């Protein structure tokens, strides 16, 4: 048996998405900017994809810009808000310490350009409150950017409340909703969201395509210069096959949120309860306000990398946290943000499920993980020290 439990890194494309893409690689091949009928035909389909995205986000089609993915949408949203702010001499930006690097690295760049970046503390349970945001907003704040759901530990932020605070104070609010879109019901108007990023490959759509929602009236800055595509805000001939695949996958995901959530919660909670029985283990992220497919644990006395390799040998494909930081020896910035000590953070495991997973696969994970953890602990000098009392347990 081989179990794919790394859906926060990427998902398998759905049949719906593949089927939706096929005609755009053969029959409908025009350039939507061309004036002739073959081009205009492509443009009609592009418009229909935009309408589908808008309908499922609760916004207008012209408020959607297609991008190359979540990273580009994050970059564009943040740079746009910063540019708008600079015109009014507002250069204070509020975010959190556990954002995705697409957000954190963009903020770092702005800091070098003279912006003041304030990263809010994240509580031990992986949550940031609207109250914290309210206290941090100043006269010169131009943007609040806070992720909808964390990609490592799965905690889901009180987005509507944070949005309400920003609205009341007249500050732009952007959310990186890459882990939430297609998994949690989103209505940008109802949830007071000014800008939102999403990415198709996190909801069974194709890789390399995403979208940025920006409320009417928000002047976007270009990240990519060139032609007048996407209302002049994102140059480059549109990737129509990918965009059609994304729209189909998004609609399919949104239509099935309730059914998928119900199925996922059963599997997730069984995993959480099972893995919590492993001695000296701790669940990361809030127990309640949590993505339906996310399980994230730290196991004391082991190395996450070794755990992943052994799990893979036993047919379980998982991650230590973010796909982006694997390969580096630094502990996860997310686990640092919630205050896990270094050696605990190194022993982390993320299992991210999709509705394609089965109860049999959960059984398999529940057999394999405790066995492999025990096996690694048997070889670990740190574990021996803990067992023999030369060292204190951090996780009780
Ligand atoms: C995956 C991810 C991104 C990046 O999206 P890409 O489409 O891969 O560029 C950004 N933010 C979060 C929270 C993610 O999980």
Predicted pLDDT at 88: 97
Encoding tokens for residue 311?
A: 């799990």
Q: Is residue 393 part of a domain?
A: no
Atom 10, ligand 1: which residue's CA is nearest? 70
Cα separation, 170 vs 174, whole angstroms:
13
Q: Is residue 396 part of a domain?
A: no
Predicted pLDDT at 327: 53
Q: Do 288 and 236 belong to one domain?
A: no
Number of alpha carbons in the 13 Å side-chain half-sphere of residue 379: 9
Closest-CA residue to 358 (of 270, 289, 281): 270
Predicted pLDDT at 117: 98
Cα separation, 194 vs 174, whole angstroms:
6
Predicted pLDDT at 231: 92
Predicted pLDDT at 330: 80
Q: Do 53 and 187 belong to one domain?
A: yes
Q: Is residue 334 part of a domain?
A: yes
Encoding tokens for residue 332?
A: 């996860």
Helices (H), 94-158: 101-112, 130-136
Q: Do 107 and 135 belong to one domain?
A: yes
Query: Which ligand 1 atom sits nearest the alpha carbon of residue 207?
Result: 7
Q: What angle do CA 304, 12, 291 make, to 5 degrees?
A: 60
Helix (H, G, I), strand (E, B) or coil at 94: strand
For position 232, which CATH number holds? 3.40.640.10
Predicted pLDDT at 321: 77
Q: Do 240 and 380 belong to one domain?
A: no
Helix (H, G, I), strand (E, B) or coil at 6: strand
Among 255, 279, 301, give the residue marking a domain's end.
Answer: 255
Task: Domain of residue 315: give its range.
Answer: 3-9+258-387
Which residue's entry shows tokens 């000590």? 341
Predicted pLDDT at 324: 45
pTM of the model: 0.97
* DSSP characters over 194-240: SEEEEEGGGTTS-SS-EEEEE-TT--PPPSS-SS-TGGGTS-S---H
pLDDT by residue (tens digit) across 57-68?
999 999 999 999
Tell me if 11 CB under 6 Å of ligand 1: no
Q: Is residue 248 part of a domain?
A: yes
Among 239, 255, 271, give the residue marking a domain's end.
Answer: 255
Q: Are 141 and 88 in contact (CB under 8 A)?
A: no
Q: Do 34 and 65 belong to one domain?
A: yes
Q: For the chain, what percent of residues have pLDDT higher than 90?
A: 96
Mutate which of 151, 184, 323 to test ligand 1's pocket (most atoms within 8 Å of Cβ)?
151
Cα distances (Å, whole numbers) of residue 314 to 57, 321, 323, 361, 371: 40, 19, 20, 12, 10
Q: Is residue 394 part of a domain?
A: no
Predicted pLDDT at 322: 55
Q: Do 97 and 236 belong to one domain?
A: yes
Helix (H, G, I), strand (E, B) or coil at 149: strand
* DSSP characters over 285-331: S-SSSB-TTEEEEEETTS-HHHHHHHHHHTTEE-BSS-TTTTTS-SP
Tell me if 154 CB under 6 Å of ligand 1: no
Q: Do 263 and 249 belong to one domain?
A: no
Cα separation, 238 vs 48, whole angstroms:
14
Q: Do 32 and 175 belong to one domain?
A: yes
Measured in angstroms, how far is the CA atom of residue 382 from the centroid of ligand 1?
35
Measured in angstroms, how far is the CA atom of residue 101 from the centroid of ligand 1?
9
Output DSSP code: residue 184. Answer: B
Among 233, 255, 277, give the residue marking a domain's end.
Answer: 255
Q: Is 317 in the active site? A: no
Q: Are 144 and 137 in contact (CB under 8 A)?
A: yes
Measured in angstroms, how far is the CA atom of residue 278 from the centroid of ligand 1?
31
Encoding tokens for residue 96?
A: 């959190």
Q: Do 211 and 267 belong to one domain?
A: no
Q: How many domains does the chain have?
A: 2
Cα separation, 66 vs 243, whole angstroms:
8
Q: Do 308 and 208 belong to one domain?
A: no
Q: Is residue 74 part of a domain?
A: yes
Q: Do 250 and 265 belong to one domain?
A: no
Q: Do 124 and 208 belong to one domain?
A: yes
For position 382, which CATH number holds? 3.90.1150.10
- pLDDT digits (tens), the chain, 396 positions: 999 999 999 999 999 999 999 999 999 999 999 999 999 999 999 999 999 999 999 999 999 999 999 999 999 999 999 999 999 999 999 999 999 999 999 999 999 999 999 999 999 999 999 999 999 999 999 999 999 999 999 999 999 999 999 999 999 999 999 999 999 999 999 999 999 999 999 999 999 999 999 999 999 999 999 999 999 999 999 999 999 999 999 999 999 999 999 999 999 999 999 999 999 999 999 999 999 999 999 999 999 999 999 999 999 999 987 554 455 668 899 999 999 999 899 999 999 999 999 999 999 999 999 999 999 999 999 999 999 999 999 998
Mutate which of 67, 75, 178 to test ligand 1's pocket (most atoms within 8 Å of Cβ)?
178
């Amino acid at each position: 048996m081989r179990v794919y439990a790394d859906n926060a890194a990427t998902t398998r494309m759905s049949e719906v998405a593949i089927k939706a893409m096929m005609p755009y690689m053969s029959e409908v091949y025009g350039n939507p900017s061309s004036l002739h009928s073959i081009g205009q035909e492509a443009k009609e389909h592009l418009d229909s994809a935009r309408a589908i995205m808008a309908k499922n986000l609760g916004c207008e089609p012209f408020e959607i810009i297609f991008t190359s993915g979540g990273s580009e949408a994050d970059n564009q949203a943040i740079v746009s808000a910063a540019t708008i702010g600079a015109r009014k001499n507002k250069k204070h930006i509020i975010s959190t310490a556990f954002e995705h690097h697409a957000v954190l690295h963009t903020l770092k760049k702005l800091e070098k350009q003279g912006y003041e970046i304030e990263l809010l503390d994240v509580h031990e349970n992986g949550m940031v409150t609207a109250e914290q945001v309210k206290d941090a907003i100043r006269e010169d704040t131009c943007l609040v950017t806070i992720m909808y759901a964390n990609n490592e530990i799965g905690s889901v932020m009180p987005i509507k409340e944070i949005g309400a605070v920003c609205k009341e104070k007249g500050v732009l609010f952007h959310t990186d909703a890459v882990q939430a879109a297609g998994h949690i019901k989103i209505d940008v108007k109802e949830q007071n969201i000014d800008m939102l990023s999403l990415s198709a490959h996190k909801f069974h759509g194709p890789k390399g395509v995403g979208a940025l929602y920006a409320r009417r009236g928000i002047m976007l800055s270009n990240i990519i210069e060139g032609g007048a595509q996407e209302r002049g805000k994102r140059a480059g001939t549109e990737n129509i096959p990918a965009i059609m695949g994304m729209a189909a996958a998004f609609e399919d995901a949104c239509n099935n949120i309730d059914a998928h959530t119900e199925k996922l919660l059963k599997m997730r909670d069984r995993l959480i309860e099972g893995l919590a029985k492993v001695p000296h283990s701790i669940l990361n992220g809030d127990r309640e306000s949590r993505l339906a497919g996310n399980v994230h644990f730290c196991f004391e006395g082991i190395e996450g990398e070794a755990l992943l390799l052994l799990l893979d040998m036993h047919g379980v494909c998982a991650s230590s946290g973010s796909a982006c930081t694997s390969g580096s020896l630094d502990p996860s910035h997310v686990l640092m943000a919630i205050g896990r000590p270094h050696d605990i953070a190194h022993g982390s495991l993320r299992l991210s499920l999709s509705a394609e997973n089965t109860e049999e696969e959960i059984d398999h994970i529940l057999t394999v993980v405790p066995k492999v953890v025990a096996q690694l602990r048997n070889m670990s000098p740190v574990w021996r020290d803990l067992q023999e009392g030369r060292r204190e347990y951090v996780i009780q």
